[in-house]
Chains A and B, each alone.
Chain A
Amino acid sequence: MLSINNVSFTYESGSPALSNVSLRIDDGEFVCIVGHNGSGKSTLAKMLNGLLLPTEGTVIVNGMDTADEDRLLDIRRHVGIVFQNPDNQIVTTVVREDVAFGPENLGIPTEEMIVRVDEALAAVGMESYAESAPHMLSGGQKQRIAIAGMLAMEPNVLVLDEATAMLDPLGRRDIIRIVRELHEKKGITVIMITQYMEEAIGVDRVIVMNGGQVWMEGTPAEIFARGDELRSIGLDVPAAVELREQLKEKGIADAGDAMTLEELSKELCRSLLNT
Chain B
Amino acid sequence: MPIVVEHLTHVYQSGSINAYTALKDINMTIEDGEFVGLIGHTGSGKSTLIQQLNGLMQPTSGRVTVDGFDMNDKKQRAGGRALVGMVFQYPDYQLFDETVYRDISFGPKNLKLDEAEIDRRVREAMDLVGLDFEEFAEKSPFELSGGEKRRCALAGIIAMYPKYLVLDEPMAGLDPSGRRAVLEMIDGFRKRLGCAVVMVSHSMDDIAKAADKVIVLRGGEIFKCGTPAEIFSLSDELNEMGLEPPFAARMASELRRRGFALPGSIYTNEALVEALESFKRGDKNV
Contact = CB atoms under 8 A, between A and B. Distances in A.
A148 interface: no
A235 B177 CA distance: 6
B254 interface: yes
A151 to B, nearest CB: 24
A162 B202 CA distance: 16
Nearest to B270: A246
Given A250-B273, A269-B258, A37 B251 contact: no
B243 A169 contact: yes
14 contacts: A168-B41, A169-B243, A170-B41, A195-B176, A234-B175, A243-B251, A243-B272, A250-B277, A261-B247, A265-B258, A269-B255, A272-B276, A272-B280, A273-B258
A13 B176 CA distance: 26
Contact of A239 (B143, B247, B259, B273): B247
Nearest to A169: B244
Contact of B175 (A13, A37, A250, A252): A37
Contacts of B279: 272
Contacts of A253: 276, 280
Interface of B: 41-43, 143, 145-147, 172-178, 202-203, 205, 242-244, 247-248, 250-251, 254-255, 258-260, 269, 272-273, 276-277, 279-280
Contacts of A272: 260, 276, 279-280
A267 to B, nearest CB: 11
A138 interface: yes
Interface of A: 13, 35-38, 84, 138-140, 162, 165-166, 168-171, 195, 197, 231, 234-236, 239-240, 242-243, 246-247, 250, 252-253, 261-262, 264-265, 268-269, 272-273, 275
A224 to B, nearest CB: 13
B146 A261 contact: no
Contact of A37 (B178, B244, B259, B276): B178
B247 A269 contact: no
Given A236-B176, A273-B260, A38 B145 contact: yes
Contact of B259 (A171, A261, A262, A273): A273
Nearest to A38: B145
Nearest to B204: A169
**Ordered nearest first, which 3 A-B pairs have the shortest CB separation?**
A234-B177, A239-B247, A236-B176
B277 A252 contact: yes
A169 B242 contact: yes
B244 A235 contact: no
Contacts of A275: 258-259
A74 to B, nearest CB: 32
A265 B174 CA distance: 29
A166 B172 contact: yes
Contact of B251 (A38, A197, A240): A240
B42 A36 contact: no
A139 B178 CA distance: 23
Contacts of B42: 138-140, 168, 171
Contact of B178 (A168, A234, A243): A234
Given A169-B244, A265-B251, A243 B273 contact: yes
Contacts of A169: 202-203, 242-244
A59 to B, nearest CB: 24
Given A246-B273, A252-B276, A261-B254, A165 B173 contact: yes
A37 B181 CA distance: 13
A140 to B, nearest CB: 8
A273 B255 CA distance: 10
Contact of A234 (B176, B254, B260, B272): B176
B147 A243 contact: no
A275 B260 CA distance: 11
Contacts of A235: 175-177
A239 B205 contact: yes
Nearest to A34: B175
Contact of B174 (A37, A170, A243): A37
Nearest to B169: A166
A240 B172 contact: no
A197 B179 CA distance: 13
